[in-house]
Homo-oligomer: A and B are copies of this chain.
């Protein structure tokens, strides 16, 4: 855990340069725009410890899965998120000395992420080894208005000298992944273009053959006047740049504006990439930095209007929630249905793959509540388009007849994670994909989605569950053997209660959906029925399974059992652990973790959260009281579920403790791993914690319900919801709760059980 980020309502602030915190800051101060993004690396050379990282959405490398003991059905490859060409470089040489903060005395260092406008600022004064002092003021953004454009304004002012200097402005595709085995590189050069106005490098990913063209152009200003300098072109394999000879004059800022274009073959034909990049660069230069920034900031202003959350009386909490919203919004904008929300977004390359069940279980509610419904719908359609791949994935494991198993991790629908205990066994993800359809329809009312896309997905998943269970002659029940639940600190267990629960729920919901589509969209139904060869016998079998499933429980304690045999464990609580044992995944062997009772993340409780309506409060309480004390929250996805259930149970202190853990997980580096990148998907859990936890928001029978309370530490808080064409604002203060309809047709909401009619106030 760390505590060096200054608290501020709208900004993330680092003051003073501590090289030991640099990699953490590189993650925290990352910027992006849904299409591309990058860590907060320095523009100038930096020879200290760092993690250079730029990323382009959708671009990956299929690293062959190499294990000594191959088994049938193992995925072919592990999809690496690719470190992409770096376009930020502005290397400064003065008197043969490189401006390199690892080699200078650094003063007045300040790094600021302005979340309101989406701009990364940095200022510092550096003293070069020979005593020359320069002040630098840099700003950088990836345009939310034009996703292929980035811009940097880099002002350098000599404080105690005048001298000649050399600048190198470049693009560099000779990058390497942190997780590259054997230091393999994943890019080959395709071509370069360089003239006196710009340079461009087109590089191709190995195996996947994505093309990415990265180009840059620039303008110089000194003493407020445009300068013309003839650049010398520098070129080597996968690298091109301009070298500029300039004269620095004491106390006169030299301002470099660098414009970058990053275009990928995902969005352009390969043949026209360079031409399109040139147009983008010329267009950017013509507009200039200030105009580009204005257009970019306008997009952010609009986004914040839709989704801002305010918290009064607790700046740390305010900063935390905005940071989470900011990162989510710059990771996924929802206008490209081929994209998804990678676990590290554009802040790092760890893990790999772009899509986990995080998307459905955690991110979907956030985008539902804060964005146009098409954003959430695109997340669902993404999975619809992968249905055939999910059927193939199940086929590799021996499932037949259109059974679909969605991958644990994917880029393009194929499974690309490579632990059998996860890929074969952590199959509850399949249920989350079905649940997301239900959740989307519940929130938006868009039941027609079932006829259009939803039903086919549900049938594929239900077929999987029906084949995945087996009849236990011993128990005279259906059982589900060999699974890994959400709590990945257990592998290959039998009858994980959560998995059995979501499987049975899926079967029931699919039967409902079939009935609904048949009655309301008969034409679609017949098409689907023919397409997927749906048989009546299947439906009967699904019903039989749903009615005869085995669920492990401890009748004496009145709790559901996470899995068969759970009570054979030594039942300890987190309080029994020594401080130095945590986090367990860094301190204990896997052997010890597996055999312990300790829970990585909500498992039984995840089911109680999803299916809250099916359980009475006492049942939720007994299970929460049993499992919460064993939960170590070593997944970033865990605390939010606990906030929501604790709120239901009135455990306000527990809820607030868990809220801080999710809201400031990265800012305070709770798990000592922010240097690898931020935990993007779990940031949606922070939003849910506040809206569903403290705000008690639910949708029941097409109506918004609220059951809010105010944490003792706060004066008030407010959030907005996009809901069925309206914008509803909720303000919770000590004096009470105010729900206001900001736009859209009148509607009734339910506040603390009471119906409240809302209409837009006439002005």
Contacts and interface: CB of A to CB of B under 8 A. Distances in A.
B494 A587 contact: no
- Chain multiplicity (copies): 2
Interface string A554-578: 0000000000110111110000000
B492 A594 contact: yes
Contact of A68 (B78, B565, B595): B78
Contact of A494 (B71, B182, B568): B568
B472 A568 contact: yes
Given A474-B568, A568-B475, A595 B482 contact: yes
A595 B479 CA distance: 11
Interface stretch (A147-155, A163-171, A417-425): A417-425
User: Chain A contact residues: over half helix, strand or loop, or mixed?
Assistant: loop
A420 B570 contact: no
Given A74-B590, A424-B591, A567-B472, A66 B69 contact: no
A71 B424 contact: no
Contacts of A482: 591, 594-595
B590 A72 contact: yes
A567 B477 CA distance: 12
A271 interface: no
Contacts of A595: 470, 481-482
A734 interface: no
A594 B492 CA distance: 9
A492 B494 contact: no
A398 B591 contact: yes
A427 to B, nearest CB: 9
A623 interface: no
Interface string A499-528: 000000000000000000000000000000
A3 interface: no
A418 B68 contact: yes
Contacts of A71: 585, 589-590
A586 interface: yes
A588 interface: yes
A47 B105 CA distance: 65
A73 B589 contact: yes
A396 interface: yes
A122 B181 CA distance: 44
A471 interface: yes
Interface string A587-622: 111111011000000000000000000000000000
List of 8 A-B pairs having minimum Cβ-Cβ separation, nearest first: A73-B589, A474-B567, A424-B591, A71-B590, A397-B589, A492-B492, A472-B568, A398-B592
11 contacts: A67-B418, A73-B592, A74-B590, A396-B589, A397-B592, A398-B591, A398-B592, A470-B570, A470-B595, A474-B567, A481-B594
Given A398-B591, A470-B570, A564-B568, 4 more contacts: A73-B591, A397-B589, A421-B492, A481-B595
